[in-house]
Structure formats: structure tokens, C-alpha cells
Amino acid sequence: MKELYFIRHGETIYNVEKRVQGKGVNSSLNEKGKLQAKAFYNYYKDLAFDLVITSSLNRTKETVADFIYEKKLTHLEFDILDEISWGKYEGKQASEELYRDHRNVLAEWSNANYDARIEGGESAAEMDERLRLFLQILPTFTENKILICTHGATLAFLMTILQNQPLSEMPRYKHNNTGLCKYIFDGSNYSLQLQDDLKHLELIVF
């Protein structure tokens, strides 16, 4: 039996400025993001995680840095957990054109056209392929309590895969910065215990 704790990274300036932050944007946490990360650490530091896994991007590694450096936990990073690539819009400010193209690609995915993509970006089918590769690796770890820090869209895709739902369900899953999702894996099936839980932030004043 494995306990899997998936969290989204803390806030970055890109989040605040509503700029697109995909696989090709290697941003760092802002001050609020650092406070969120510290609050998460303080709340969960005694949970006795066995392993920390992150994407290859700075914002995930910074979010769980205290578990890695204070708790001295083994850390593995996988670029297959990176955020989806939003192609030509990465790093760009939100705009009507961006919103239109984003709505259009989500509409295509909702109609099971999983090869649709933003120009220069990744498709839902490509996200599915790389995340399923990670889920093939995950059961091979001997550790039983694993903390995994990744990204908003990545988490949304993972929610559908772990629950055997079509990828078209992805847009319904929203994740706040440092929102926690917990699954129990019994060797065959994943059981959702928590979805975007933020109780670690309740006592923080930003």
C-alpha cells in the first residue's frame, strides 16, 4: 500500500501577472509562494515521507526544498512531470487571443480530439503518454509514503488518468498553489482521499 501526496508548486510572479507558465518557463517562487511552501512544510513535516519527487522545473523543487534539505529526504526529479507546453504563448501575458485559443483547444479535447494543441505546444495525447510513463515507474519504488510536487495542468491530467476517466474531464480539476491531492495505491487501483486540500494555509496571513 502506497500513500501518494501530489501538490502543485507555490505561487510565482507569473501566476500573479497572469502570464502563461508552461514547460518552457523555469520560474521561481515569489515571496507568497515561499510562505505557502513553508506553511506546507510546517504542517506536514512530521508525516514521515520516504521520498520526494518533483518535476525538473525550479518552482517545484523550491516548493519542497525543506523536505529535501531539512529532512534530508531522497529527491528524484522527472521531466515527464513538467508542466504542459503551451507553445507560442509561454511567458506571454493573458490576452483575448490566448483565451480564445485556450478555449478552442479545451473544446477539442472535450470532443476527444486529443491531438489538438496550441501552436508549438503539447497535445493532450502527448501529456497522457508521458504521464503514463511516470505511472509505470511509480509502483517500482520501494518507498510507501511519497511526496510529489508538480504543476496545475499536469495534476489535472493525472487526476483523470488515476481515476480511469477520459482526458476530456481534465478541465474540471482546478488546483491552487500548494493544493494537496492524496491517493492510496493498493498495487492495482488508486483511491482519491483529498482533492486540492489547503488546510495548511488556514493560519497564514498573506
Helices (H) and strands (E) in the chain, counts: 7, 6
Whether residue 206 is contained in a domain is answered as no
Q: Are strands 180-185 and 2-8 parallel, antiparallel or unpaired?
A: antiparallel
CATH classification of the domain holding 17: 3.40.50.1240
Whether residue 6 is contained in a domain is answered as yes
Whether residue 20 is contained in a domain is answered as yes
Q: Which stretches of the chain score pLDDT less than 70?
A: 205-206
Query: Which pLDDT belongs to residue 204?
Result: 78
Domain that holds residue 124: 2-201
Q: How far apart are CA 7 and CA 152, in angstroms?
A: 9
Q: Residue 190 — φ and ψ, nearest 5°? A: -105, 130
Whether residue 161 is contained in a domain is answered as yes
Query: Which pLDDT belongs to residue 205?
Result: 65
**What is the model's pTM?**
0.96
Whether residue 8 is contained in a domain is answered as yes
Query: Which pLDDT belongs to residue 185?
Result: 96
Whether residue 43 is contained in a domain is answered as yes
Total number of domains constituting the chain: 1
Query: Which pLDDT belongs to residue 94?
Result: 85
Whether residue 41 is contained in a domain is answered as yes
| One-letter amino acid for residue 28 of the chain | S
Query: Which pLDDT belongs to residue 61?
Result: 98
